[in-house]
Amino acid sequence: MSRNYVFIDFEFSMNDHTSTKDFFQEIIEVGTVVVQNNTIYDTYSSFVKPAFFPVLTKRCKTFLSIEQEQVSNGVEFHELVEMLHLIYSLGNTIVVTWGNMDMYVLRKNCEKHNLSFPKATSFIDLARDYKQFFGDQNHTGLWRALEAYGENGKGKHHRALDDALTTYEIFKKIENDKKYMKNKTKTTLGDLFNTEEIKRKFAT
């Protein structure tokens, strides 16, 4: 059975000094990239209307370079959850995110809305895999990780679909590196020296 990879990125609301003490982050933008057989099968991008704290803070709008009207006209949160359930229904679905915050906030939002958390076959925290593969001590940012490969991120940083596409690019590179390390044969003395030449010298 083929595997379906779904690369997901969410952008969240942010608090500032005007926020109430019960403030929590809500998903305000979603980007998904569905990959089947190493080919992008579908992409999805939309703003999501915040339900509990509908007015964005100035800090949030400045950091994400978005306007209130964009999220106010976005899809309802329950529509986002329904869309994820539909994607996961493809079967054998592996969700890939950069870090664990996306799934944490999604679960928190589902609890607040009394909706079931969309469950995929498995989840991959690519930031953790990147850290373990390269032996980094600290968490590496999404776009900085791709820059380490000599490439720039896709589109604009902190836009959900662009970050999801960037996550996919890093995933492909890490998988290629893993294959290279797995298939690389050990170096033997014969690779380093011309043993036949050495034998001839000692035989004279």
Considering the candidates 11, 26, 29, 169, report the single residue annotated as catalytic.
11
Considering the candidates 85, 113, 157, 158, report the single residue annotated as catalytic.
158
The question of whether 157 is a catalytic residue gets the answer no
Residue-wise pLDDT for 36-68, tens only, equals 999 999 999 999 999 999 999 999 999 999 999
pLDDT at 189 over 50: no
- Domain 4-203 falls in which CATH fold? Nucleotidyltransferase; domain 5 (3.30.420)
Q: Specify which residues 4 forms β-bridges with.
A: 36, 93
Strand order through the sheet with 39-47:
39-47, 27-36, 4-12, 93-97, 122-125
Q: Model pTM?
A: 0.85
- Nearest-10 crossing angle of helices 77-88, 101-113: 120
Mean pLDDT of 68-96: 96
Supply φ then ψ for residue 121, to 5 degrees: -65, -40
Quote the pLDDT of residue 98: 97
Residue-wise pLDDT for 86-143, tens only, equals 999 988 999 999 999 999 999 999 999 999 999 999 999 999 999 988 887 778 899 8
Residue 5 has, within 13 A of its CA and on its CB side, a CA count of: 19
The question of whether 11 is a catalytic residue gets the answer yes
H or E segment and range at residue 35? strand 27-36
Alpha helices in the chain, H assignment, sequence order:
58-64, 68-72, 77-88, 101-113, 126-134, 142-147, 160-183, 189-192, 195-203
Residue-wise pLDDT for 127-175, tens only, equals 999 998 888 777 889 989 999 889 888 889 999 999 999 999 999 999 9
Buried b (16+ CB within 10 A) or exposed e, 185-204: eeeeeeeeeeeeeeeeeeee
CB-based contact 3:132 (threshold 8 Å): no
